[in-house]
Amino acid sequence: GAGVSQSPSNKVTEKGKDVELRCDPISGHTALYWYRQSLGQGLEFLIYFQGNSAPDKSGLPSDRFSAERTGGSVSTLTIQRTQQEDSAVYLCASSHDRDEPQHFGDGTRLSIL
């Protein structure tokens, strides 16, 4: 596809369950980012992948959060033992290189009951 694709678009789950969110970046983009937006807030950086380098995980809020990027393309963000405060829109972005504009997907709206 032409843009960043994220799935699912919506996810409702019970507290304590694990969730996996998927991101398909724009083809050829070497950099991939995850952000989240809580209600009424700006976007909060979570993690950043650049090529084959070790990811920058400095924004992950707890060890319940992890992310992988396989084959330099698709990425999954995993949240284990979800809590209600994890409810947010999770946004993925990619860029051709790290100092170029980031292009965002439409996000996954995660609701923890």
Q: Which residues of this chain interact with another protein, rule CB under 8 A?
A: 4, 31, 33, 35, 40-45, 48, 50, 56, 58-59, 91, 93, 98-99, 101-107
SS3 72: helix
Q: Are 33 and 48 in contact (CB under 8 A)?
A: yes
Nearest-approach distance from CB 90 to another protein, in angstroms: 11
Nearest-approach distance from CB 28 to another protein, in angstroms: 17
CA distance 69 to 87: 23
Judged by beta carbon, residue 3 or residue 16, the one nearer another protein is 3
CA distance 107 to 54: 24
Q: Are 12 and 82 in contact (CB under 8 A)?
A: no
Judged by beta carbon, residue 4 or residue 88, the one nearer another protein is 4
95: amino acid identity, one letter: S
Nearest-approach distance from CB 91 to another protein, in angstroms: 6
Nearest-approach distance from CB 98 to another protein, in angstroms: 4
Q: How far apart are the first and last CA of the chain?
A: 33
